[in-house]
Structure 1
Amino acid sequence: MDIHSAYNRAKEMLIDGATYDEIKSCTGLREKEIKRIRRNEIDSHF
């Protein structure tokens, strides 16, 4: 999985309510990166 599709998949999973552990196992991203996606791209829109 390339980095762009991993970020997009993580973003979709965050919106759907997946846990950090589920996202890490599916995308291979670090928890730090997932939190950054949540802070910059998800929470800023709500």
Structure 2
Amino acid sequence: AIFRNSISLQAMLQGNTLNLTCEGKGIYRSYIVAEATQDKIDQLCNQLCS
């Protein structure tokens, strides 16, 4: 889990599908990503949880 601004976030990668759950807000999204680099994951996390 990644913690940012006291929001708990879960990132799960399955093949090309990145599942992000923003537990603090109860938001869930799936992204199709060519390559899930840590930077890319952080970027999506920030968008999702902000």
Bucket of the pairwise TM-score, normalised by the shorter protein:
0.3 to 0.5
Q: Of the two structures, which has the highest relative contact order with CA contacts closer than 8 Å and spacing of 6 or more?
A: 1
* Structure showing the higher helix proportion among its residues: 1
Q: Report which of the two structures shows the higher radius of gyration computed on alpha carbons.
A: 2
TM-score (norm 1): 0.37
TM-score (norm 2): 0.35
